[in-house]
A and B are shown apart, each in its own frame.
Chain A
Amino acid sequence: MPASDRIIINLGTGSGVINWANFISQCFNGLVTGALLALISSGLTIIYGTLGVLNLAHGAMFMLGGYAGWVTYTYTDSFLAAVVAGSLFVMLVGVVMERLVIRHFYTRPHEDQLLVTFGLGIVFVETVRFFFGSLSQTVPPPGPLVGITDLGFMIYPTYRLALLGIVAVALLTLYFVLYRTRIGMIVRAGIEDSVMVDSLGINVYKVFMLVFGIGAMAAGFAGIVNAPVVSIAPDVGEAILVQTFVVVVIGGVGSFPGAVIGGLIAGEIISITTMFNPAYSQIMLFVAMTLVLVLRPHGLLGQAGRE
């Protein structure tokens, strides 16, 4: 079959909308997309930074947060309760997972850690499918946040606007915990040098368990606050996981500020590429990551020896 027949059928790669109004809109939208990515990624990165474990079940944690929240919502009709329950449930899952499985993998090769967390991710996703099916479920945003807001340069869903604030508060809280509390000091010291923390007589295992819990909670929290935007389904975490990894790598593995900056950069790349050519938005993210890595061996803010 001549190649030209196929080209006619493939209408090409779609078309962008290139004008200044759209550019400003897309930049703003990139900020919102990026903020959420930053939150999920920071959970992944502090776990990796402290424990040296790359948690491939992180996407599933995000998904579990959404489902735990949704179940709570269906019983209580309260969005706040859903957020609290979603976060705490995933934190619990994280702690239990660390205690039962991950702990036995600290001394094993990195590849084993990847494999076991990958496997656990599948188990989480399929367990949810087993109980709740594949149909999408929706958690509506709290009443005052329904509808749209006119920002002047664009109209924007009110809840997504609020989400920007919610995520910012969550990131600040995480920052506060990491940089202003004793436990945060220990965690950050652990990122620098886990042997040192050990020698200070701190029970590293307890710290590890807590860090895993906090990291998982960040994903779970993101999962439930995102549920009114992207309705939940068992596979919701899979796509997020890959993007999260890109963010973490761009920012530098193990770096909390790196994850935040990486998230925002990723959000802007996706949005602005879409303006020019929607079909290339996801792939540009990977191209950008590869470029960053070729130019900066440890990502934007990473340190040597953390990979």
Chain B
Amino acid sequence: MQIKRPYLVELFTALALLLAPFVLPHLGFSPSTINRILIWGLFGLGFDILFGYTGLLSFGQSAFYGTGGMFAAYLLTEAGFPYVMLSIVIGAVVAGVVGYLVGLIALKRTGIYFAMITVAIAEVFFFAEFNPLSAYTGGENGLPGVPTPVFNLGFTVLKFDTDWTMYTFLAFWYFVGIVIALRIVRSPVGAILSAIRDNPLRASALGHNIHGYKLTAFVVAAIYAGFAGGLLATMQGFMPPDAFMFDTSGQLVMQTAIGGAGTLFGPLIGATVWLYLSDFFQNVLHLGPTWKLVLGIVFVLLVVFLRRGIVGAIDDLYRMARSDRKNTAEPVAASSEAKAAAVEAMPARRRDGAQTSGPILQATGLTKRYGGLAANSDIDFSVDHGEMRGIIGPNGAGKSTFFKMLTCEVEPSAGKIVFEGRDITGMGVTDVCQLGLTKSYQINQLFDRLTVRRNLMIAALGETRGKFKLDLFKSIRSVPGLEDQVERTAALVNLTARLDTPVSELAYGEKRRLEIGLALATSPSLLLLDEPLAGMSPSERVETVALLKSIARGRTMIIIDHDMDSLFELVGKVTVLQEGRVLVEGTPAEIKTNAKVQEAYLGGVHGEVA
């Protein structure tokens, strides 16, 4: 979002908030409706970070909205606490704490199960508000009599007790909210959140503790919700019990969808449309009970025809207009020239005290059984520092399973893996990546909705930041060395010209190169490549082989591939797997002439020895 002028969005928001009271009333918005829109918008900022950016669809936001608001309202009414703003902040903090606890349970699951746990938790909260806690929350009556904020600045007292003064109060907080949200989205954490949305598997394989980041997003959303709940209480002087209802969550989801998820402004725009139309149908058109039918039809049409909501549609139009211009101005240069050799690869990560000779990876007795079926049995395998090792074997020989065990994606049924002198058996893929061992995948695992630059950044961030860091407010562009690493990696895999292209628009060969680039950008000391040449044209293969050669310096690599000519050209030693066991190991020359290998391939399904 707005890379060149970083504060443009903030500026426009401030301007829009200033102009709104002079423009919107002429369009038929009443001040209280505008105030409600702001509260929904602020509520939605947190939800959009959770849903639009991190891809976690929660139907339980009402729990936090209600908790924050109810807590603040309780302090201000029943407990007689006099500070309105402080109460709202305390309410938001409480909502955040509750969000943390709920997140610990809900985030154990994904997809529909996650959504359902959030529904269940919201129902439990609603019940608690209504029943066991009704002595504090007023049960179905809610808590009336919440005061409006008053600030004594010494020389003057600011009171926010009319609709328009309340507007300035809410607009101020919406502005603070959007500034914070934009910072989060533009921070390294923001980048990782969008990586989790697009491909959680790869995000964790690149060394990010995705559970920690999801929990972060969940807590952020809960804090926003709690804060908005407090604002609702003071805005209408009444904390309603319906804030806890499923309908509140449902309305938030619908408004976000109408406005456009993943845009931050979507919920605000969605609320504007929703509240305006419901007012319009009831008070102008006098539809009576039919208003909901008409609104339902409008909603269905919006979902069917605007895939990314209103903000998304505007964004698409803008992009379309821009790329039309671009296309005519500079046709995409199809450079097939291999420039890779000219660029120096990133050095492999060096940890203090790490040896630089002898075996970097040792596997002993590695076995994986799926039910009664053994994919790998009793593999002993060792690779030395700086080695280039090839692994071949007929289809079904267990090569990919073997790789998955080495990168700790699957846990071995038996055996032990030692990497740089450390036993990594049973560790997670994230930790192993942090140690400097990673893999490029046989089937591309990219972040499809993001640009090439973003993809590489996310990979590089794993190394520069460790597996979890809460630098929520740091600009991603101020991470030292990140830009450099991204550009060097891009040059290496020949994608410099495509840096700002979304992955979904790349050609297949380019995606394959990016797949390698992602693994490379983590600066691994041991890089595993699962069929890097698969599906490439002969000229692309030549290019990629050159690329692999250039990145091999100072790095250990293990490569699986079926293209034996290319593989034999690259590697110093080859391990042949058959039926989940090591058949033979040796130099390419030895392997070519080995009788067992000949037999394995000729007798096997695919005669792939060239």
Contact = CB atoms under 8 A, between A and B. Distances in A.
Interface residues of B, number: 43
Interface in A69-121: 101, 104, 108, 110-112, 114-116, 118-120
A290 B293 contact: no
Contact of A115 (B120, B253, B289): B253
Interface in A205-227: none
Interface string A256-296: 00000000000000000000000100110011011001100
Nearest to A245: B116
A283 B123 contact: yes
Contacts of B110: 307
Nearest to A12: B131
B113 A297 contact: yes
Nearest to A234: B289
Given A6-B134, A116-B300, A253 B105 contact: no
B369 to A, nearest CB: 18
Nearest to B138: A6
Contact of B116 (A110, A122, A289): A289
A121 to B, nearest CB: 8
A173 interface: no
Contacts of A111: 51, 57, 257, 261
B136 A3 contact: yes
Given A115-B253, A115-B254, A245-B119, A123 B300 contact: yes
B111 A119 contact: no
B131 A279 contact: yes
A207 to B, nearest CB: 22
Contact of B290 (A13, A126, A293, A307): A126
Contact of B307 (A112, A119, A126): A112
B256 to A, nearest CB: 9
A126 B296 contact: yes
Contacts of A114: 57
Q: Classify the secondary structure of A's interface with B.
A: helix
A127 B293 CA distance: 6
A130 B294 CA distance: 11
Contacts of A115: 253-254, 257, 299, 303
Contacts of A101: 300, 304
Contacts of A110: 57, 111-112
Interface residues of A, number: 45
A7 interface: yes
Contacts of A119: 254, 296, 299-300, 303
A54 B112 contact: yes
A180 interface: no
B173 interface: no
A104 to B, nearest CB: 7
Interface string A28-39: 000000000000
28 contacts: A7-B135, A10-B135, A54-B112, A101-B300, A111-B261, A112-B307, A115-B299, A116-B303, A116-B304, A118-B250, A118-B254, A119-B299, A122-B295, A123-B293, A126-B289, A126-B292, A130-B290, A242-B123, A249-B112, A249-B116, A279-B131, A282-B123, A282-B127, A283-B124, A283-B127, A290-B117, A299-B113, A307-B109
Interface of B: 51, 57, 78, 105, 108-114, 116-117, 119-121, 123-124, 127, 131, 134-136, 138-139, 246, 250, 253-254, 257, 261, 289-290, 292-293, 295-297, 299-300, 303-304, 307
